[in-house]
Amino acid sequence: MFHKNVLITSGGCLEKWDNVRGHTNLAKGTIGKKIAEEALLKGANVTYLHGYFADKPDAVNTQNLQLDAYRKGKVANGHIGR
C-alpha cells in the first residue's frame, strides 16, 4: 500500500428530516479507525472522512493522514460534497 491514496469513511452521522427532527447514528467508527491505522503503517496516504462521534486514528506518521469531518453537503476541506 506504499504511497497509495486511501479514502476511509467512519463513524456515525446525523441526517436531518427538517429543522426540528432528524435521525442519528452514534457509531464510534472503531473498524474504520483500525483500517486507517493499518493503512498508515503500510505507508498509504489516508483521507479519513469521519462522523461527529467517530474515534480518530492513532497515527505515528500524521503527515500521511488527512482528517475531514463530514457535514451534510460539504467536507471541512471542500473536496467532497453532495
The 10s digit of each residue's pLDDT in 1-28 is: 899 999 998 988 777 888 888 887 788 9
Torsion of CA 35, 37, 39, 45, to 10 degrees: 120
- Whole-model pTM: value is 0.74
Cell 498509504 -> residue: 44
Domain boundaries, the chain: 5-72
The 10s digit of each residue's pLDDT in 62-79 is: 789 998 887 655 555 544
What's the grid cell of residue 18?
Answer: 427538517
Burial of 77 (0-12, 13-18, 19+ CB in 10 A): exposed
